[in-house]
């Protein structure tokens, strides 16, 4: 398998996409490649000082190609409480979580809080919830990210 990243567009990012982008860490100051399962692509947040900003929210899967969550059968079952995990490209090992419409506010705001509550029961997933400043993330290129899944996933009929 080729396992190539596919160039993508920030405007097309929606809940359930598995993307990667470069992001500068506040704590270390290093810019590293982040791979996440998107939960909320552009969530409006009002800060304590009254300013409004947009946040990209997701579950971190990898950082600089180091796996944060091994997607085993157990993790997939937990994620499938809110949708269906599907392979969208056989050749490049690309996946997405087709989130059930009842758990999505809209494609911009992302998932409802009850959807996160359903999947956060797993200790592995709970510890990987991440929030990124959307405007900072948007400065870097975004890709659909090939990931390693340690169990079999059904193929989708999309082409």
pLDDT digits 0-9 by tens, 47-78: 899 999 999 999 999 998 888 888 888 888 88
Q: Which domain holds residue 72?
A: 6-144
For residue 150, tell me if it sits in a domain: no
CA gap 25, 137 in Å, rounded: 11
For residue 12, tell me if it sits in a domain: yes
Identify the segments of the chain with pLDDT beneath 70. 1-2, 123, 150-159
- Look at residue 126 in the predicted model and tell me its pLDDT: 76
For residue 83, tell me if it sits in a domain: yes
For residue 112, tell me if it sits in a domain: yes
For the chain, what is the domain count?
Answer: 1
For residue 130, tell me if it sits in a domain: yes
- Look at residue 1 in the predicted model and tell me its pLDDT: 47
For residue 155, tell me if it sits in a domain: no
- The three-state secondary structure class of 99 is strand
For residue 149, tell me if it sits in a domain: no
CA gap 57, 54 in Å, rounded: 10
């Amino acid at each position: 398998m080729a396992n190539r990243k596919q160039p993508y567009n920030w405007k097309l990012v929606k809940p359930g996409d598995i993307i990667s982008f470069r992001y500068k860490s506040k704590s270390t100051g290093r810019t590293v490649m982040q791979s996440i399962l998107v939960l909320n692509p552009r969530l409006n947040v009002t800060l304590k000082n009254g300013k409004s900003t947009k946040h990209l929210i997701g579950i971190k899967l990898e950082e600089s190609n180091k796996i944060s969550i091994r997607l085993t059968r157990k993790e997939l079952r937990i994620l499938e409480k809110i949708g269906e995990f599907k392979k969208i490209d056989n050749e490049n090992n690309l996946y997405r979580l087709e989130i059930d419409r009842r758990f999505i506010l809209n494609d911009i705001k992302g998932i409802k809080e009850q959807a996160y509550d359903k999947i956060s029961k797993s200790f592995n997933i709970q510890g990987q919830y991440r929030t990124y400043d959307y405007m900072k993330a948007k400065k870097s290129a975004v890709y659909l990210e090939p990931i390693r899944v340690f169990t079999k996933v059904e193929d989708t009929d999309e082409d």
